[in-house]
Structure 1
Amino acid sequence: MKLSQLRILVAVAARQNFTDAALDLQMSQSAVSHAIAMLEQNLGVVLFSRGRHGARLTPLGERIVEHAQEIVHRADEIAKEAELSKGLKGGQVRIASFRSIATHILPGAIAHFHQQFPAISVNLAEHEDYPHVEHALREGQADIGFTFMPASEGLEVWEVIRDEFVALLPITFQPAGSQLSWEELVAQPLIMPPVNYIMMRQVYQHAQTYGYALKVTYEVETDATIVSLVAQGLGAAILPRLAAEPIPAAVRAYSLPVPLERVIGVATLADALLSPAIYAFLDSLKTTQVLVS
């Protein structure tokens, strides 16, 4: 029986799905399935009932996973105590982030931190959106996570940056006045992320507040693809500026008729025992000039 198998057991039990657990663990689904199969073989018992419903713990599995959770927790505490004893001579900082922060903000922040503390390693995990980041924090898979403010209960969060939502239009478009109007924006075919994306809910609500409904012509999941479609002259889009970067020459970004921004913060578990390395990264983050832009 390996600690890694117990971590996988806890993850699958939490998600009740091998695919979702694999995404959380940043492993392939086959590797997760193999680890559970080997654990069941070693123990000589069945831990999960598998079927259309996903993977549900058997009654015995429910009892065993409680012990596994305790073992994983104790192992993490041992690692934290060992790291605390090292001070800033070594250690690791595990960061969970969504793509736009991981791409445009963290490289500069990590480089700045490495200059100050070259002996501390940094592990960066990129997630699809902020609920996955917060889940990684709660499951002990990350020490620090970048999320939107206000964050959910149980997290301590500090504001890092305010990211403006911008309207993206082809360079051939010219607004009638000095700034883009709602009428001009909603008249365009809109190329937008799926309506159920949490990030975009405030955009739709914002437009409705001022009496405008955003009618989507093209629903596209990937930010880069949305920007490329705008560059081809197929319509307009609304994205956070960081998500839209890099903005090509064929696209122009406008502030919304009434400006809107998302507030991004760095979070830790409120009751977490933070190592000196983590405190050092948080302090370094506050002084990194790239975050002030």
Structure 2
Amino acid sequence: MQLQQLASFVAVAETAHFTHAAERMRVAQPSLSKSIKALEMELGARLFSRARGNVALTPAGEALLPLARRMLADAETARREVAELAGLRRGRVRLGATPSLCAGLLADALARYHRDYPGIDLIVEEGGSRDLVGDLARGRLDLALIILPLHSSDPALVTEEILVESLVVASPAGAGTVGPRDSAGDVGSTAEGEGLAPVAGRGRRAFVRIEDLRGKPLVMFRRGYDLREATIAACRQAGFEPRFAVEGGEMDAVLRFVEAGLGVAVVPSMVLDGRPGLRGVPLAPPGLRRTVALAHRKDVEPTRAAQAFRATLLSYLSEAAEEGALPQGVGLAGLPME
């Protein structure tokens, strides 16, 4: 079994067409067909069925596909690792991160890494934690910043907790809302009844209860976002089903929809930096928090370039914490938050 044969097999599986696969591999179609036939003889099973011009995977082909993708990814990692032995002058880091981190802390950490290792290619994949975990398992990422906990069905990963961030309820900054309760229990004015009612807690810091979201229109993320699951779970634990005004968005779309007055959304506090059109109100203690972890596959040692990125990221976060430069509502894992 040769890597070229596996690459040809994956190309046919992904294109469902021998001619298109040959074009992708930049080989003649007869050569590609010969490579597939040799692989089938090696394995003792047909990998594709051809009926009326349609190419489809057989059960044997379906079983081989994820393994072939992983072997090809591991081979590429080996090539990169050997190239990096020259002192990290060459290499690549494929990093996955949630949208809130891409819009916040990650940019400065990447800038520092690029300054220290200008020859390393940086590839960033933005997505929800479940999507990133899948990409790690398939060998499409070297590292990923994901949200814990992992699900029981997730693949075996090595995770390192690095940050804890608070979730807040985002609403339009200029919308009419019920004001904080004063010491006598009187409530301030309200607009059209769609606003939330922040309540003054200790030190008169305003907060809202998860129960205050009952019946309120919510702007909800697409499936695959951990924020979607966290919000729905919190509402159900409080005894009600959330009402969606609109759903299916990415982070930027969700924030824009909230700005436009479609509803409110539960988001990480850090994403509200630089958005004067939005305000964030913390949830009542104990509130909602989530833990951010740096993850990689358990069966694959990270490349030297990936290890160098980890060191750069942790150094940057530690310095930012000491200088008080972390976004509001964000702290280092294992340390108390203000």
| TM, length-normalised to structure 2 | 0.65
C-alpha change, 1:203 and 1:50, in structure 2 (3 Å) is: farther
- What secondary structure is seen at the aligned counterpart in 1 of 2:103? helix
Quick check: 2:215–2:243 contact (8 Å CA) kept in 1? Answer: no
The answer to whether the aligner puts 1:174 opposite 2:201 as a matched pair is no
Q: CA deviation at 1:118?
A: 2.8
C-alpha change, 1:125 and 1:185, in structure 2 (3 Å) is: same
Q: 1:237 and 1:227 mapped to 2: Cα distance?
A: 8
Paired residue type of 1:284: T
Q: Which residue of structure 1 aligns with residue 217 of structure 2?
A: 189
The answer to whether the aligner puts 1:43 opposite 2:33 as a matched pair is yes
Residue 160 of structure 1 is aligned with which of 150, 162, 167? Answer: 162
Q: Which runs of 5+ in 1 are unaligned?
A: 19-28
Paired residue type of 1:239: V
C-alpha change, 1:271 and 1:250, in structure 2 (3 Å) is: same
Paired residue type of 2:100: S
- What secondary structure is seen at the aligned counterpart in 1 of 2:85? helix
Q: CA deviation at 1:6?
A: 4.0
Q: Which residue of structure 2 aligns with residue 124 of structure 1?
A: 123
Q: Deviations over 1:19-38 (max 9, x none)?
A: xxxxxxxxxx7999922687
Quick check: 2:11–2:24 contact (8 Å CA) kept in 1? Answer: no
- What secondary structure is seen at the aligned counterpart in 2 of 1:201? helix
The answer to whether the aligner puts 1:147 opposite 2:146 as a matched pair is yes
C-alpha change, 1:34 and 1:220, in structure 2 (3 Å) is: same
Q: CA deviation at 1:123?
A: 2.5
Quick check: 2:220–2:265 contact (8 Å CA) kept in 1? Answer: yes
RMSD, matched Cα: 3.9
Paired residue type of 2:208: S
- What secondary structure is seen at the aligned counterpart in 2 of 1:86? coil
Quick check: 2:232–2:242 contact (8 Å CA) kept in 1? Answer: yes
Paired residue type of 1:43: S
Quick check: 1:102–1:126 contact (8 Å CA) kept in 2? Answer: no
Report which of the two structures shows the higher radius of gyration computed on alpha carbons.
2
Figure out how many residues of one structure are paired with residues of the other and give that number. 274
Alignment of 1:228-267 (within 5 A): 228-242=256-270, 244-245=271-272, 248-258=275-285, 259-267=287-295
Alignment of 1:19-98 (within 5 A): 34-35=20-21, 42-43=32-33, 47-49=47-49, 56-58=56-58, 61=61, 68=68, 72=72, 75-76=75-76, 78-83=78-83, 85-98=85-98
| TM, length-normalised to structure 1 | 0.74
Q: 2:311 and 2:149 mapped to 1: Cα distance?
A: 21
After superposing the two structures, state which structure 1 stretch, 186-195 or 36-45, moved more. 36-45
Paired residue type of 2:160: W
Residue 244 of structure 2 is aligned with which of 204, 210, 216? Answer: 216
After superposing the two structures, state which structure 1 stretch, 269-278 or 80-89, moved more. 80-89
Q: 1:34 and 1:163 mapped to 2: Cα distance?
A: 46
Q: Deviations over 1:165-186 (max 9, x none)?
A: 2111222333442224335443
- What secondary structure is seen at the aligned counterpart in 2 of 1:104? coil
Paired residue type of 1:174: T
Q: Which runs of 5+ in 2 are unaligned?
A: 38-45, 181-199, 201-205, 327-338
Q: 1:130 and 1:32 mapped to 2: Cα distance?
A: 34
After superposing the two structures, state which structure 1 stretch, 278-287 or 146-155, moved more. 146-155
In percent, how many aligned pairs have the same letter? 24
Quick check: 2:96–2:144 contact (8 Å CA) kept in 1? Answer: yes
Q: CA deviation at 1:138?
A: 2.0
Q: CA deviation at 1:112?
A: 1.1
Q: CA deviation at 1:134?
A: 1.9
The answer to whether the aligner puts 1:205 opposite 2:233 as a matched pair is yes
Q: Deviations over 1:114-171 (max 9, x none)?
A: 232333x132232432222222222222211121113344211112322322111222
Higher fraction of helix = 1
